[in-house]
Amino acid sequence: MSAVYIEAPMAAARHSQGGNAVVNLQNVKHAEILRAAGVSKVYPDGNVRALSGVNLAIRRGEYLAIVGPSGSGKSTLLNLLGLLDEPSSGEICFDGQPITRLTQLDRVRARKIGFVFQSFHLLPMLTAVENVQVPMFEGDLGPKQRAAKAAQLLAAVGLEHRAHHLPLRLSVGERQRVAIARALANDPVLLLADEPTGNLDSQSGAEILELFARLHRSAGITLVVITHSAEVAAQAQRVISVRDGRIESDVPSAGRGEQAGSNERLSS
Ligand SMILES: Nc1ncnc2c1ncn2[C@@H]1O[C@H](COP(=O)(O)OP(=O)(O)OP(=O)(O)O)[C@@H](O)[C@H]1O
Ligand SMILES: [Mg+2]
């Protein structure tokens, strides 16, 4: 398996991101990558109040776990933090900008944020390496560069030998890893994952955890992970507990969360 240093391509991609439509995001490095201020979410369908008055600031490079009972509002919160949905009231700021003021929100989301869905959402008719390339169509890479980068990302998650398999011909853990490789396709500054180890056996779950730890250390990526697993929460630096749509506690992890280092291999 070829070793992949993720830091260099990520840094290069960040610096090469051109375009002029994104408000003040190109060179700004806010210490806070995300802020939720007085955020509430009411789903019109059934008039469900899923979140109430949530205040939360996430610093660049943090590794944060979100825990809480089923139905407490974790996925709702992650969708809002990932700019996939809008709050009913309150404000979400990404990189210092209220998202309501961002032009081309889709572009910001595609280029800066990776999202790992609990149920993967892989396209069934595309192979692993093709699935990983899907988000790259938002970017500036040509076909050969896209294919090469997707192969590199699959290698980074230990799946180069499954590159041409359709999702149906992959194990659940392998699908999850393809979904993670896809989430990294555009070198996001922020990776959000909704119960990424929830469907996995302990071995596959441990591999994903190791991958997240390496990503955090080597790329300085900001990680926000919803989990029911004590191991995942222990690996994070900070644990937010959500209950009945509110943040019940926000504490440093009792585990071994570590600050970002440099140049660590994703695979070897
Ligand atoms: N699209 C929707 N329309 C209406 N109600 C919704 C919708 N999505 C979620 N809800 C409701 O909002 C509440 C919070 O849901 P959410 O999915 O955020 O919970 P969760 O903490 O992620 O739960 P789980 O651990 O089971 O995934 C629940 O009561 C849920 O039924
Ligand atoms: Mg959920």
Per-residue pLDDT tens digits of the chain, which is 268 residues long: 333 334 333 333 334 444 333 444 444 456 999 999 999 999 998 899 999 999 999 999 999 999 999 999 999 999 999 999 999 999 999 999 999 888 888 888 999 999 999 889 999 999 999 999 999 998 889 999 999 999 999 998 889 999 999 999 999 889 999 999 999 999 999 999 999 888 778 888 888 888 889 889 888 899 999 999 888 899 999 999 999 999 999 999 876 554 433 334 343 3
27 domain residue, yes or no? no
47 domain residue, yes or no? no
> Angle of helix 202-219 relative to helix 7-16, nearest 10 degrees?
60
Ligand 1 atom, smallest distance to 76 CA: 18
- Count of domains in the chain? 1
Please identify every residue whose CB atom is under 5 Å from ligand 2, which is an ion. 75
Which distant-in-sequence residues (6+ apart) come within 8 Å of 83 by Cβ?
Answer: 92, 94, 99, 105, 108, 109, 113
- Which domain range does residue 200 map to? 7-17+60-79+102-252
For the chain, how many residues are written? Answer: 268
Q: What is the CATH number of the domain that holds 13?
A: 3.40.50.300
Token look-up 């929830």 returns: 198
Phi, psi of 138 (to 5 degrees): -75, -20
267 domain residue, yes or no? no
Ligand 1 atom, smallest distance to 68 CA: 21
Q: Look at residue 256 in the predicted model and tell me its pLDDT.
A: 57
Q: Which of 117, 233, 226 is nearest to 178 (CA)?
A: 117
Rounded to the nearest whole angstrom, what is the distance from the C-alpha of residue 73 to the centroid of ligand 2?
Answer: 7
Q: Which of 22, 19, 32 is nearest to 101 (CA)?
A: 22
205 domain residue, yes or no? yes
Q: Look at residue 1 in the predicted model and tell me its pLDDT.
A: 34
CB atoms within 10 A of CB 97: 18
109 domain residue, yes or no? yes
SS3 category, 59: strand
Q: Look at residue 142 in the predicted model and tell me its pLDDT.
A: 95
173 domain residue, yes or no? yes
Q: Which of 131, 99, 103, 98 is nearest to 117 (CA)?
A: 131
Stated pTM of the model: 0.84
The closest ligand to the CA of 43 turns out to be 1
156 domain residue, yes or no? yes
264 domain residue, yes or no? no
> Angle of helix 143-156 relative to helix 172-183, nearest 10 degrees?
130
Q: Atom 17 in ligand 1: which residue has the minimum CA distance?
A: 75
Query: What is the best residue among 48, 80, 119 to mutate for testing ligand 1's pocket, by most ligand atoms within 8 Å of CB?
Result: 48
